[in-house]
Structure formats: structure tokens, C-alpha cells
Amino acid sequence: MIEEAFVPVVAVASTALGCWIAARRLRWPLRGLAPAFGKALECVGAVVLFCILNAVVGTAVIFAARALSGRFVSLHLGADQTLLAVSALQALVFQWWREQSSRRD
């Protein structure tokens, strides 16, 4: 079924194309691929941590808003998917900061 295969096919094809351009045209060494994948995993891990942190802070803000305003504020606000993009941005900055700090040490 095209619906099931579409995304994996596109991902595999574009990854293969990217690898070909990097290895053949730009002459990047293939041995750098595994460490790059490791760094990507670190970034994903950092995004998850910031997602959790944003969820905890968001819940605290909602409870505070309820207490201060006396009106109902839904916990569903914390499910806003914009927070995922914000978490990704926070994680990227955090990772770069961590990278810079470790180079200085």
C-alpha cells in the first residue's frame, strides 16, 4: 500500500542521496557517519528531556493560574503541539552550548 510505504521509501531514498552527495561530491569520510548518528541521538534525547520539562512547568503554570484566577484552566493546554517545536529549539541550543563548553574544557 502506498500509504504505508510512502514515508519509509522517501526517507531511505533521500538518505541514500544525501550520503552519495556527501561521500562522492563533498568527499566526507564515511567513518564520520556513526559519530554523527550518535550526536543526532543525543539531540533527540535532549528534545525528550525538554518536552518533559515543559510538561512539568506547564502543569505548574496551569495549577498556579487556577489558584490565582479562580477560574478553570484546562490541563489540555499542555498538549499544545507548539511545545514540541519549542522543545526542539531549546534542545538544539542546549546541545550546542554543551558542545562549546566541552571544547573549552
| Interface ranges with another protein (CB under 8 A) | 1, 3-4, 6-8, 38, 40-49, 66, 72, 74-76, 79, 98, 102
Which residue lies nearer to another protein by CB, 21 or 44? 44
Taking the complex as a whole, how short is the minimal distance between the CB of residue 27 and another protein, in angstroms?
27
CA distance 82 to 86: 6
CA distance 48 to 38: 15
Taking the complex as a whole, how short is the minimal distance between the CB of residue 98 and another protein, in angstroms?
8
What region does 52 belong to: left with phi over 0, alpha with psi -120 to 50, or beta?
alpha
Q: Which three cell numbers stand for residue 100?
A: 562549546
CA distance 39 to 47: 12
Contact 47, 87 (CB under 8 A): yes
Taking the complex as a whole, how short is the minimal distance between the CB of residue 7 and another protein, in angstroms?
5
Taking the complex as a whole, how short is the minimal distance between the CB of residue 26 and another protein, in angstroms?
26
Which residue lies nearer to another protein by CB, 7 or 30? 7
Contact 48, 84 (CB under 8 A): no
Which residue lies nearer to another protein by CB, 48 or 64? 48
Which residue lies nearer to another protein by CB, 20 or 97? 97
